[in-house]
Amino acid sequence: MAGFILKRLLQAVFVILAVTLIVSFAVRLSGDPAIMLTGGAGGVTEQDLQNIRKSLGLERPFIIQYFSFLQGIVVGDFGRSFMGGTPVAKLIGNALPATLLLAFASLLTSIAFSVPLGVYAAVKRGRWPDQLIRILSLVGLSFPNFWLAIMMVLFFSIFLGWLPPSGMEGPQSFVMPALTMAIILTATNVRLVRTSMLETLSQQYIMVARSKGLKDWVVLYKHALRNSAIPLVTYIGLQFGGLIGSIVIVERVFNWPGMGTLAFDAISARDYPVLQGTITVLALFIVFINIVIDIAYGFIDPRIRTE
């Protein structure tokens, strides 16, 4: 186990190196922050721009800039924002909890819906509840999330006035952003749970469990579900990457003070340090989740534990 974790951490280092290199390079193709800072004001000379670049450390060769960034990461220093000079670590420290809360809230909501629905669809295979769940899942898949978000705001905030349209103030402000993402996740997870359960339910040990006289829900949720969990858990790990991607859009619509908003603003302002910092932290987070999932396999399935 220790060897396995060590191996994965080693892999993680390479992933982070690759991600930071690509991000640092790509961000510098997006435009000149010095021009952004001067805001296109008149009377700015080339000399002024040079001075700004120099003060930001942008006159140095790319590779030097990259290494000083890496050096900073090791001690947790992501530099300072070009806009206002706040330490990037502090900005991330404020935004990360909001994003994580939203991500986990969506994920848990999606699991709470997709597992019982998927199990039920598998049990009722081919009959109308199964058909209905499959159609609903397809409908859920077909909505673009930004459209769904806007529709919800229109309905719940503007028409009914039940929920705050934006910001993060209290539990009710979680409902719409979390639901927006949960609907997309649930649509795919339901199908995954259903397929995986169908596979498990055809196994001999399920018939053995029934022949013991166990109640249906014990057979389904004790004997079958744990055996169906591996594909679901794998997929949730993969989903995290996509989840982070869609969070940028959803946070934007709901004006959520999270990593997505931070990254989005940094892109528009060509605020290199903030963008590099947010993306590196998000990448680290995805790598971490996937290590956790690999370890979780062992808890779910003893056959993986001994290998």
Give residues in contact with other proteins (CB under 8 A).
3, 7, 203-205, 207-215, 223, 226-227, 300-303, 306
Listed as own residue / partner, the contacts of 72-75 with beta carbons closer than 8 Å and 24 or more positions apart are 73/20, 73/280
- Give the nearest distance from C-beta 114 to other proteins in angstroms: 21
- Give the nearest distance from C-beta 191 to other proteins in angstroms: 22
Tokens of 74: 């090791």
Tokens of 21: 């290199």
- Give the nearest distance from C-beta 305 to other proteins in angstroms: 9
Give the count of beta carbons closer than 10 Å to the beta carbon of residue 269. 17
Give the three-class secondary structure for 166: coil
Backbone angles phi, psi at 31, to 5 degrees: 140, 180
- Give the nearest distance from C-beta 304 to other proteins in angstroms: 10
- Give the nearest distance from C-beta 183 to other proteins in angstroms: 31
Backbone angles phi, psi at 122, to 5 degrees: -65, -40
Nearer to other proteins (CB atom), residue 90 or residue 226: 226
Nearer to other proteins (CB atom), residue 12 or residue 269: 12
- Give the nearest distance from C-beta 127 to other proteins in angstroms: 11
Nearer to other proteins (CB atom), residue 207 or residue 292: 207
Largest CA distance in the chain: 86
- Give the nearest distance from C-beta 249 to other proteins in angstroms: 38
The angle at the Cα of 272, spanning 68 to 268, to the nearest 5 degrees, equals 175
User: Which among 94, 70, 35, 96 has a CA at the least distance from the CA of 273?
Assistant: 70
- Give the nearest distance from C-beta 290 to other proteins in angstroms: 20
Nearer to other proteins (CB atom), residue 8 or residue 60: 8
Nearer to other proteins (CB atom), residue 214 or residue 267: 214
Nearer to other proteins (CB atom), residue 54 or residue 127: 127
- 100 vs 177: CA distance, rounded Å: 13
Nearer to other proteins (CB atom), residue 90 or residue 212: 212
Count, residues in the chain: 307
Token look-up 């120099």 returns: 54
Nearer to other proteins (CB atom), residue 3 or residue 84: 3
Give the count of beta carbons closer than 10 Å to the beta carbon of residue 95. 22
- 163 vs 180: CA distance, rounded Å: 14
Backbone angles phi, psi at 40, to 5 degrees: 65, 20
- Contact call for residues 198 and 119 (beta carbons, < 8 A): no
User: Which among 88, 252, 97, 264 has a CA at the least distance from the CA of 167?
Assistant: 252
- 115 vs 260: CA distance, rounded Å: 28
